[in-house]
Amino acid sequence: MATPTLVHRVRVIDQFRVTPPSGSVPETHLPLTFFDVIWDRSVTVQRIFFFDLSSSSHTKSHFLSTQLPNIKQSLSLALQRFYPLAATLAPSPQTGHNEFHYTDGDSVQLTVAESDSDFHALVADHPKDTAEFHPLVPELGSSDLSSFQLTVFADSGFSIGLTVRHVAADGSSIMQFMKYWAWVCRLGDESDSMNLPSPIYDRDLIPDPMGLKPILLDQISMREQMWKEIGIKLEAQQKEHMVRATFVLSRANIEDLRHRVAAARMEDTGKRDPLHVSSFVLTCGYMWACLTKARGHVGDRTIHFCFAVDCRARMSPPISAAYFGNCIWACHASVEGSEIASVKDNEGLVAAFEVIGRAIQRLDDDGVLNGADQRFPRICATVDKGEPILSVAGSPRLRVYNVDFGFGRPRKVEVISIEETGAMSLAESREDGGRGIEVGLALPESEMERVASLFKEGLGAH
């Protein structure tokens, strides 16, 4: 699999500090909940939204002169509603624990740049050098919680890159902000967006009867070395030539997997018990099997799959989807690598689907926070033993392709931060009416070749 060589010259044109309109947001203090504190270790999320500029009138200079003022103004109006993104994180004078603190004049950085990279090559699914994407995401200032970058390409396209500290917001909240910003930018009038739900910041909606916040703070502070070890391991991997690629499971592919697992369960075991086989489970199980085989994690070695679940609807009582902050918790599945190592063997796929589906079912049956005080130590123990963990960034439910700044849906959305975490990213498919699922991977080139071969082989066999 040859990796295209792209030119990635990016020139910064200007940088701005963008604030909410003066006086529009009062000074505010927001405490961190137990959902937030697990991310208070400088973990960042980086995404890039690529958009076409197909009209001949949208030259680079025309775009910057006509659209940049609107993008800046709409960002300011969006920050008025989503002010924590412009806030700072600092110890509370009362508790000594970190809290969000917004004062009038707090801001985010907006970088404006131009690039002569091949836009069409960047948005393709085939493997590309990961380094091509790094200049398209903004750096984050030491005291900033978020920053943004607009990059205009010479060949009819632009991108909006963002870097957000995870402690400020989970994926659902970030997408709530992006869709609102895009809505105001597209319509040019904030009043037209009044039918969009306003973000909710009430931290009293997140009860903590088990005292998880102090428990998690203690557990995390005791495991600083673990974070360093993970970083060292990923840095060593990234010394190899890393590439980024997208794998798409169409609706037809997903339905085929669903029929295969149902038939295999009946034929091999006669199982008639219900199994949670959503499109998410089928996609995750299939990719987990491909990666397990490609990485040689077979034999008597326990492997792990970890993904976040949105707890908003799972809280008691449920809280609004408009809650802004972090409200996700880890769901953890484990199995012996040899059980799922063959993507052509339906029995192996069934094992992968079953272990993920049952993990979700246990979470729904027992409650999302059951055993929450031991969730982080279990993950730490897995890391200590050197057992492989595959995690997930994003979700098809975020509907990232619904972000429209007035130029149509994104041509492509990439999660850049998976290079730092080793995760795979998930999003709804841009095509297929959004019923398929896109999987993003950033891997050493040789490993990506093996994954691509297994991915094709497993689907082509049926």
Give the pair of three-digit tokens for residue 436: 């398929």
Give the pair of three-digit tokens for residue 334: 């484990």
**Whether 436 contacts 429, CB under 8 Å:** yes
Amino acid at 52: D
Q: Is 404 a catalytic residue?
A: yes
Catalytic residue among 104, 129, 404, 432: 404
139, burial (CB in 10 Å: exposed 0-12, middle 13-18, buried 19+): exposed
Give the pair of three-digit tokens for residue 275: 């199994």
Give the pair of three-digit tokens for residue 428: 């709804």
Nearest in space to 359 (alpha carbons), one of 380, 342, 378 = 378
Nearest in space to 369 (alpha carbons), one of 44, 38, 43 = 38
Cα 279 off chain centre by = 17
Q: How far is CA 268 from CA 52, 260, 261, 436, 440, in A?
A: 49, 12, 10, 28, 33
Name residues whose C-beta falls within 8 Å of residue 283's C-beta, 6 or more positions apart in sequence: 249, 254, 426, 437, 439
Query: Distance between CA atoms of 63 and 94, rounded to whole angstroms?
Result: 48
Catalytic residue among 58, 166, 297, 304: 166
Q: What's the DSSP call for residue 56?
A: T
Catalytic residues: 166, 404
